[in-house]
Amino acid sequence: MVFGVFLGKFLAAWLVLNEGMMIVVSLSAILATMLNIPVAAMVLCIELFGVDATIPAMLGSVIGYEIMKYDVIYETLRE
């Protein structure tokens, strides 16, 4: 989760975007990508950052999940 926060801060500074929302997007994308849990990643980010983070959390989780849908870290999750 720390990597997602650092990635969001870096992207926000580099792309000159809202730092808080980029942290939400990257955190939910990292969780959805690495653990293959897009809905749980979205709900976790909404609980952490509030209702205003619903759309960015949804975007991050859907994009992260679609990129790495079939390549998960844990092989037992596929079975």
Q: Return the pLDDT at 20.
A: 82
Query: What per-residue confidence (pLDDT) applies to 1?
Result: 67
- Report phi then psi at 73, rounded to 5: -70, -45
More confident residue, 37 or 69: 37
With beta carbons less than 8 A apart as the criterion, state whether 23 and 55 touch.
no
pLDDT at 17: 82
Q: Please give the backbone phi and psi of residue 72, each rounded to the nearest 5 degrees, phi first.
A: -105, 160
pLDDT tens for 6-61 read 777 787 788 888 888 888 888 898 888 888 888 999 999 999 989 998 999 999 89
